[in-house]
Structure 1
Amino acid sequence: MAQGRGSAVALGLALLCLLIHSEIANAATYVVGDSGGWTFNVAGWPSGKRFRAGDVLVFRYNPSDHNVVAVTAAGYGGCSAPRGSRVYTSGNDRITLARGTRYFICSFAGHCQAGMKIAVTAA
C-alpha cells in the first residue's frame, strides 16, 4: 500500500512539473520599445499587447544614457524613484512579470517626463 501512495505522489509531481514547464513554454519575451529599444516616447508601447505572468520584458539601452527603475504607481505618475526602488543598469535588463501592474521609468533627469516610462499589466 505504501508503494501505491508513493506512485501517486510521483505521478502528482510529474504532472506538476509538466504544468510548470507548459507555463514557462508559453511565456513570451518582449523587447521594450521594439527595435528602438528603451528610449523616449515609449509610454504607449504596451498598448494593444496582452501580457501574462511569466512573460519577460527586455530593456535594451545605453547604460551611460539611461537606466530602468521599477517604481510604484505614484512614482510612475510623478516621475520619481522612491528610496529603495530597484534600479537596473546593465543596458540589457530582463524582468519577468508577475500578475498585476508593474511600473518602470528612467530616472535620468527629464527622461521620464519625456515619455521614458511604461506601465505593464500582466494577467
Structure 2
Amino acid sequence: MGSFKFINVAIIVAMLVPSISAVDYLVGDDAGWTVGFDYQTWAQDKMFFVGDRLVFNYPAGVHNVFKVNGTDFRQCTTPVGAVPLTSGNDVITLATPGRKWYLCGVSNHCSIGQKLSLYVMTVQIAWSPISPPSPAPSPFPAYI
C-alpha cells in the first residue's frame, strides 16, 4: 500500500516539474528590431516565461534598446543615466515575472512604433501524459 502512495506522489510531482528549456525569441522575427513593425501584434500570441531570452537584431549604430518602465514606455522617454544596448545583437534574459517594456531611444523611433511591451509569467509547467501504473496482479487465483 505504501509503494502505491509513493507512485501516486511521484506521478503528481512529475506532472508539476517546471520546464527548464528556455526559448529564444527573435524580436520582430525576420524583420528584426526596426521602425515600421508592429511589435505589440508580434508579442500578443506569444507566452513569455522567466528564463526565456529576447534577441534584438538590428544594424549597430542605427537603433538601440532601452529597458524602461511603463511611464517611460507610454511617453517614449529614456531613463536618465540609463545605458542603452547597442551591439546590434542584444540578448535580454527575462529574469523576473511581470510586465516588461523596451524601446528604441534613437530619434523618433519609439514614437513611430519601435517599442515592445510584454508580460513574463513565472514558470512554464511541463504537462506530459503519464500512463497510470498497471494494477498489481491479484494474489488470489481467478476461479471461473
**1:107 matched residue in structure 2:** 105
Matched AA of 1:33 = G
Find runs of 4+ consecutive structure 1 residues off by over 2 angstroms: none
Aligned mates of 1:115, 1:84 — CA distance in 2: 23
Structure 1 residue 78: Cα displacement: 0.2
**2:62 matched residue in structure 1:** 65
Q: How many residues align?
A: 102
Q: Provide structure 1 residue ranges, at least 5 long, that are not aligned to the other structure.
A: 1-18
The alignment's TM-score, normalised by the length of structure 2, stands at 0.66
Q: Where in structure 2 are the equivalents of 1:1-123 lying within 5 Å?
A: 23=19, 25-40=20-35, 41-44=37-40, 45-97=42-94, 98-123=96-121
Matched AA of 1:79 = C
Structure 1 residue 122: Cα displacement: 0.7
Aligned mates of 2:71, 2:97 — CA distance in 1: 19
Contact (CA 8 Å) 1:71, 1:86: kept in 2 or not? no
Q: Provide structure 2 residue ranges, at least 5 long, that are not aligned to the other structure.
A: 1-16, 122-144
Structure 1 residue 84: Cα displacement: 2.9
- Which structure dedicates a bigger proportion of its chain to helix? 1
Post-superposition CA distance 1:72-96 (Å, at most 9, x none): 1011000000113341000000101
Aligned mates of 1:103, 1:82 — CA distance in 2: 12
Aligned mates of 2:109, 2:65 — CA distance in 1: 11
Contact (CA 8 Å) 1:70, 1:86: kept in 2 or not? no
**1:3 matched residue in structure 2:** none
Larger Rg, first or second structure (1 or 2): 2
- Which structure dedicates a bigger proportion of its chain to strand? 1
Structure 1 residue 47: Cα displacement: 1.0
